[in-house]
Chains A and B, each alone.
Chain A
């Protein structure tokens, strides 16, 4: 008898929470998403990092069953996005890139609407809404129609609406866009607490956000995943060169020439010398400077950032 109970495909065996195979979407002749293959584990927080127009939102829209893929497919908790969209819609929570709320409803009512549409009972909705509003710092504005809230407050409510029904899979498209540092911190902390329990796919333009939150980061550019890994994997794998920054007085032409002979790049500006190469010998450099009579004020090895990784891969600066 027991095997007649139909379980969600994902519970039956350990398949990924989100899996895409050659997921592709065209708008006319523009290839917005170009054969993406993703595999996101249950409980993982996966961040998409990519420049404007890279295809992040388009990918999320396909996974939420709002857009049809042109070719390829995807499964969310084992449910196919083309065949079982309503199964998927029951288990996902979405915070879209644009803040969209029902403007003449208050915060409580907006949250309740999403809750009810997911068939959560009113008692639970009330309790969860209170908690959610508290987390988002909106408790004292809970009864105001949301059109009267500030942009950042709306944004916080918009995130809360993605979470109110306690979904298994959460899509957050640039969740902290437009939030002040304090609110951003609060949202990060909340998301960090969800880690492990929920599968989260997040897009962001903030390096710190991806760095702080993500288990894995996918750098997406022109509809393709250009690099994938943990933050430190990306930094060490992609940025092969190390950089040393030295503040010094009395830099002589001779010692500069000497360093240029040994290391690939040596640049000077305003008494700051940056040296980069695949291999840097910190001690050797200091010794050479010392011998040449240079006074070293400070010297350190610069850690590569995601920004560097991003720049290296996409050739584009992130906005911010």
Chain B
């Protein structure tokens, strides 16, 4: 049980250093607090949205009534044609308008029947208000996806209110912030190993029979424990600021924990490759900040060029954002996110294997 000894030692090194511990715990939580205070207030914004139904079917009408109109931050007005809607948009009476093109219902029912389909919605918005349009688009997007995933007959016939999408800003933002908070464990999780390298304490430990995996396990377990505490606080804070958890809390927790484990794994890789704390930290900040943006923790990735999204998709964080958002705001279960879930699990496994290999390579030079 050498890894256990190394683990308890790392833990002691962490919690007996109040400044470091404070930084590790408080830093991400401060983000959450700031964002919560900024977006979690009761004064939920309200946007006037225009809608033009060119499909004129029951499905499109249902979509307007039960999906778009149910978005709590929308105040929906119907228009007959795009010209009048555009006029209103220019006057600032509405923030955007959505056009449901002809053929919408066909596409939706194709998807419902498990066939290929491509739902197209045209959203026109004032581009001088990027933050607002961003929100409108993600809300419409979320509502549409939900609409298309639920069997229409069932909802229409039995419980129309069930469809009610009630995405508050906090619901949308909180998951991103949490994933961001876990992503920035990349720079912090290698700290103890790098300090041990700098002080050469690691080299003393390397003259004992402890194996590379035991070192990696020892260093990362203390961070996993810390991550668990963080996730607990994140969810608690999010909830206090008005994030509703519609799906399983445990599933959300598991997703976040997996995300943290991936970050810690990357931290181990970086720490194994770096020579000093400075080098390791600057290296990982340099790469985790852009990754955070690409992964959609702040902004929706809808507008990013596809190569960027593909790139972000290699890393676990965009998957984590999407899956946890689906669980928290749309209440989907394991079956709907099993792909992302498996991706995170495999990613964690692979990154730790790589970390261990790199560690054992660098430990004897």
Contact = CB atoms under 8 A, between A and B. Distances in A.
Interface of A: 64-68, 85-86, 89-90, 92, 94, 96, 98, 100-105, 109, 113-114, 116-119, 145, 161
17 contacts: A64-B207, A65-B364, A66-B206, A66-B363, A67-B365, A68-B364, A86-B211, A89-B209, A92-B207, A100-B203, A102-B9, A105-B16, A109-B12, A116-B5, A117-B209, A117-B210, A161-B204
Interface in B183-229: 199-201, 203-211
Contacts of B207: 64-66, 89, 92, 94
A160 B12 CA distance: 21
Contacts of A89: 207-209
B204 A105 contact: no
Interface string B233-258: 00000000000000000000000000
Contact of A96 (B16, B204, B210, B365): B204
Nearest to B214: A117
Contacts of A113: 5, 9
Contacts of A98: 200
Interface string B11-51: 01100110000000000000000000000000000000000
B142 to A, nearest CB: 46
B201 A117 contact: no
Given A66-B203, A66-B364, A68-B365, A104 B16 contact: yes
B145 interface: no
4 nearest A-B pairs in the assembled complex, by CB-CB distance = A117-B208, A104-B16, A116-B5, A94-B207
Contacts of A65: 207, 364
A104 B209 contact: no
A102 to B, nearest CB: 6
Contacts of A66: 203, 206-207, 363-364
B218 to A, nearest CB: 10
A176 to B, nearest CB: 18
Contacts of A96: 200, 203-204
A94 B205 contact: no
Given A102-B201, A161-B204, 8 more contacts: A66-B364, A67-B365, A68-B364, A92-B207, A94-B204, A100-B201, A102-B9, A109-B9
A120 to B, nearest CB: 11
Chain B interface residue bracket vs A? 20 to 34
B2 interface: yes
Given A96-B200, A116-B2, A117-B5, A105 B208 contact: no
Contacts of B208: 89, 114, 117-118
Contacts of B210: 117
Contacts of B204: 94, 96, 100, 161
Nearest to B9: A113
A90 B17 CA distance: 31
B207 to A, nearest CB: 4
A117 B365 contact: no
Contacts of A68: 364-365
A137 to B, nearest CB: 22
A82 to B, nearest CB: 9
A89 B200 CA distance: 17
A89 B211 CA distance: 10
Nearest to B13: A104
B359 to A, nearest CB: 14
Contacts of B200: 96, 98, 100
A153 B365 CA distance: 31
Contacts of B206: 66
A77 to B, nearest CB: 14
A94 B364 CA distance: 16
Given A65-B207, A67-B365, A105 B9 contact: yes
B365 to A, nearest CB: 6
B5 A86 contact: no
A161 B203 CA distance: 13
B212 to A, nearest CB: 11
A100 B17 CA distance: 18
B205 A117 contact: yes
Contacts of A103: 13, 199
Contacts of A86: 209, 211
Given A89-B208, A117-B209, A67 B5 contact: no
Nearest to A89: B209
